[in-house]
Amino acid sequence: MNDWDSAIAYTSQLEQSDLPVKTLAELATFRRQMQLFRQNQTVVSPIDGCEPVLAGFGLPGYSGRPLDFDRGVYSSVGRGAPVVAADQTLRQYEALWQAGLGVTADTPLDPLAEAQRVNTRSGSGVTTGAVSRRVDIYAFLGAQGDSANLDLTVIQQRRGLLYTDDAAQLFLFDAAGRLLSAGRTIAGQQPYLATIPLPATGVYYAAVTTPQHHPVLDESGFITGWQGIGTSAITYTITIDGLTPSPELGLR
């Protein structure tokens, strides 16, 4: 209905409810999308198929029928019925989401706002990246009491701002941005953060940088920004394990 202010307010209220972690993450992503709609003054045309949901909010004639998502989506883009190609595209998007590839993770913390989601459905996850002057940030789910292990392996050295070497730094933050652990390359050994007990169930952030680029922390150890600029350049993999499988964190 294009009432983004009310929609954002209702979603924010739902985020305060006792919901599974996975559902809260989906709500946060949904709220962020609507904030972009409001910022860009997006106007959505009426979507055929939403009548049952609208009726459930007080409009007459509510039948309790489930929402016809396919019909609504295709109507919104000017198509009267689903087609095979579009269904395949949706499946590809779902596969990317399940794999955790190229999916950003919503966070209210500006210094960690560029986090990419790491899929830990099996209790572990691995991803790859390349970093030089700035910072790569990854988000993953963990449960209270998990003994997390983070292992960074440099697979390629590239010419950096000052050096061509395998030097790297690895940082771990909790959902509030508090620094839990840090490691760096020492005598050719890559950063490895071993058996870190996670203090609470929720989102955690791993950050990869090269030397001379550091987090700025307040007096309580919470990140407020980044300072400096990386002096090396590397391509790497980061492996995270010792976690509770993420689907289990969606259970009450």
| Amino acid identity for residue 68 in this structure | D
Q: Which of 214, 200, 224, 154 is nearest to 21 (CA)?
A: 200
Q: Which of 44, 47, 46 is nearest to 34 (CA)?
A: 44
Taking the C-alpha atoms of residue 248 and residue 244, their distance in angstroms, rounded to an integer, is: 7
The side-by-side arrangement of strands in the sheet containing 147-158 is 125-131, 233-241, 147-158, 192-197
| Amino acid identity for residue 94 in this structure | E
From the number of C-beta atoms within 10 Å of its C-beta (0-12, 13-18, 19+), residue 181 rates as middle
Q: Evaluate whether 76 touches 44 at the Cβ level (below 8 Å).
A: yes
Q: Tens-digit pLDDT profile for the chain (252 aa)?
A: 778 888 888 888 887 777 776 677 777 778 878 888 877 788 877 666 666 555 555 544 444 444 444 444 444 444 444 333 344 444 444 454 454 444 555 566 889 988 888 888 889 988 888 898 899 999 999 999 999 999 999 888 888 888 888 899 999 999 999 999 999 988 677 888 988 999 999 899 999 999 999 999 999 999 999 999 999 999 888 999 999 998 888 633
**DSSP state, 83?**
-
Taking the C-alpha atoms of residue 236 and residue 50, their distance in angstroms, rounded to an integer, is: 46
H helix runs in 40-83, sequence order: 51-55, 69-76
Long-range contacts of 99-103 (CB under 8 A, 24+ apart): 100/125, 100/127
Residue 79: the pLDDT is 43
Q: Phi, psi (5° rounding) for residue 17? A: -80, 165
**DSSP state, 67?**
P
Spell out where 198-241 has E strands.
202-209, 213-217, 223-228, 233-241
**How many CB atoms are located within 10 Å of the residue 40 CB?**
9
H or E element, residue 194: strand 192-197
Whether the pTM exceeds 0.85: the reply is no
